């Protein structure tokens, strides 16, 4: 049932109101702005705490900080909410404020909160988020972790050192190179990587070889298709058991030469291509990314969204018939930075 339907049901009568309450607060997105004259904080306080037990029903929460002035009221609101959010499993925090604003302190005394997260996303590219280390240590159930916060200098995030027994269930990581030690000793199977020319070889090698088990799913995100394609040789060397590959870029289109390394992946089953290039005139020619040019024997499906050519390539059951392309068909939404960890890729009945 959709949120509007649940809202209409809740307004019918008292009995249906409480039935709808069980479901209508599952997922919330709150924009935090406590400047004078802004209604967001007052509205959130009235709605969330006006009916008993509402914070405890929230499972997925996204908080976006936009306030530029004194943040005390905002932090007090969030701390109160988190202390009552018993069922919270997914927490996304985005700092959209200007540089050099007061540090985010949403997570004070985090270990006292009653929930056990399975997914944590923190994105604050210009400002500091405090207590990140305490969060990770106090939430052993976290499986998916996305950390993009450089702070005022690289030491703010590179200093994120964790005890060896922290995050024992971590299976998916999305972060900058300087925090890739989060993979070390943990059962990480999925990596989301910013693919640039700047990655030194020792860093890439450490990222893939320090985990407790082989990485089988990787999403690459780059400014150009060449940045993404250049990483394929790294993957072939350090993640030979790769089964899922997602590629997303802003400019350009991979050439047939760029994708040739894909022929050598012995276990690769699913690929997703996505171009964010905006063109005034889309090409009318057939897609140049026909899997027949680069498919290994293990490859079964390819999702594609390149310059207006969207759809899925399927390998025919009869090898002599090659591949067929179904426009408009999709396996599932391509992984998109920075929310690529909300749902892990599913490329076959087996787990990636």
Q: Residue by residue, what is the 3-state secondary structure of 220-275? A: EEEEEHHHHHHCHHHHHHHCCCCCEEEEEEEECCCCCCCCHHHHHCCCCCEEEEEE
**Does residue 183 have a pLDDT over 60?**
yes
Structure-block tokens of residue 17:
């109101």
Poorest-pLDDT segment among 43-52, 237-246, 284-293, 303-312 = 284-293
Confidence of residue 347 (pLDDT cuts 50, 70, 90): very low
Say what the pLDDT of residue 21 is.
65
- The reported pTM is 0.78
User: In 3-state terms, what secondary structure has residue 66?
Assistant: coil
Task: List for the chain the helix, strand, coil content (%; round to 5).
Answer: 30, 20, 50
Residue 251's pLDDT is what? 86
Q: For residue 343, is pLDDT > 70?
A: no
What does the pLDDT read at residue 109? 62
**Total residue count of the chain as it appears in this document:** 352
Which pLDDT score, from 0 to 100, does residue 345 have? 38
% of the chain exceeding 70 in pLDDT: 68
Lowest average pLDDT, out of 16-30, 49-63, 105-119, 124-138, goes to: 16-30
pLDDT class for 346, splitting at 50, 70, 90?
A: very low
Q: Which of 115-119, 136-140, 177-181, 231-235 has the lowest mean pLDDT?
A: 177-181
Q: How many CA atoms lie within 13 A of 238 on its CB side?
A: 19
**What distance in Å separates the CA atoms of residue 45 and residue 47, rounded to the nearest whole number?**
6
Nearest-angstrom CA–CA distance, 35 and 148: 26
Each residue of 20-70: pLDDT tens digit?
A: 666 667 888 887 765 655 556 667 777 788 777 888 888 888 888 776 655
Q: Which of 86-90, 234-238, 248-252 has the lowest mean pLDDT?
A: 248-252
pLDDT at 122 over 60: yes
Least confident window among 19-33, 167-181, 233-247, 263-277: 19-33
Per the prediction, the chain carries an average pLDDT of 76
Q: What is the mean pLDDT of residues 265-292?
A: 71
Place of tokens 């400014």: 223
Mean pLDDT, rounded, for 296-317: 84
């Amino acid at each position: 049932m959709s949120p509007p339907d649940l809202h209409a049901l809740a307004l019918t009568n008292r009995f249906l109101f409480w039935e709808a309450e069980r479901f209508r607060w599952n997922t919330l997105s709150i924009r935090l702005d406590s400047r004078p004259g802004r209604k967001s904080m007052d509205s959130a306080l009235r709605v969330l705490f006006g009916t008993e037990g509402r914070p405890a029903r929230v499972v997925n929460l996204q908080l976006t900080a936009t306030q530029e002035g004194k943040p005390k009221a905002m932090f007090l609101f969030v701390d109160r909410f988190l202390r009552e959010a018993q069922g919270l499993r997914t927490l996304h925090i985005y700092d959209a404020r200007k540089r050099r604003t007061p540090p985010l302190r949403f997570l004070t005394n985090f270990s006292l909160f009653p929930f056990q997260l399975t997914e944590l996303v923190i994105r604050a590219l210009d400002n500091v988020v405090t207590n990140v280390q305490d969060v990770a240590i106090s939430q052993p159930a976290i499986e998916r972790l996305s950390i993009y916060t450089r702070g005022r200098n690289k030491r703010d995030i590179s200093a994120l050192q964790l005890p060896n027994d922290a995050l024992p269930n971590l299976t998916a990581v999305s972060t900058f190179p300087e925090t890739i030690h989060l993979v070390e000793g943990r059962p990480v199977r999925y990596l989301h990587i910013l693919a640039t020319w700047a990655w030194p070889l020792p860093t890439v090698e450490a990222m893939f070889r320090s985990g407790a088990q082989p990485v089988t799913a990787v999403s690459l995100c780059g400014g150009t298709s060449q940045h993404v394609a250049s990483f394929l040789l790294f993957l072939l060397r350090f993640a030979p058991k790769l089964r899922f590959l997602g590629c997303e870029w802003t400019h350009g289109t991979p050439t047939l030469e760029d994708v040739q390394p894909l022929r050598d992946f012995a276990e690769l089953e699913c690929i997703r291509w996505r171009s964010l290039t905006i063109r005034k005139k889309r090409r009318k020619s057939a897609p140049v990314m026909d899997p027949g040019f680069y498919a290994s024997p293990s490859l079964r499906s390819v999702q594609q969204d390149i310059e207006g050519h969207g759809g899925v390539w399927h390998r025919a059951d009869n090898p002599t018939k090659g591949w067929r392309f179904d426009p408009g068909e999709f396996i599932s939404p391509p992984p998109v930075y920075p929310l690529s960890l909300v749902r892990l890729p599913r490329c076959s009945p087996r787990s990636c």
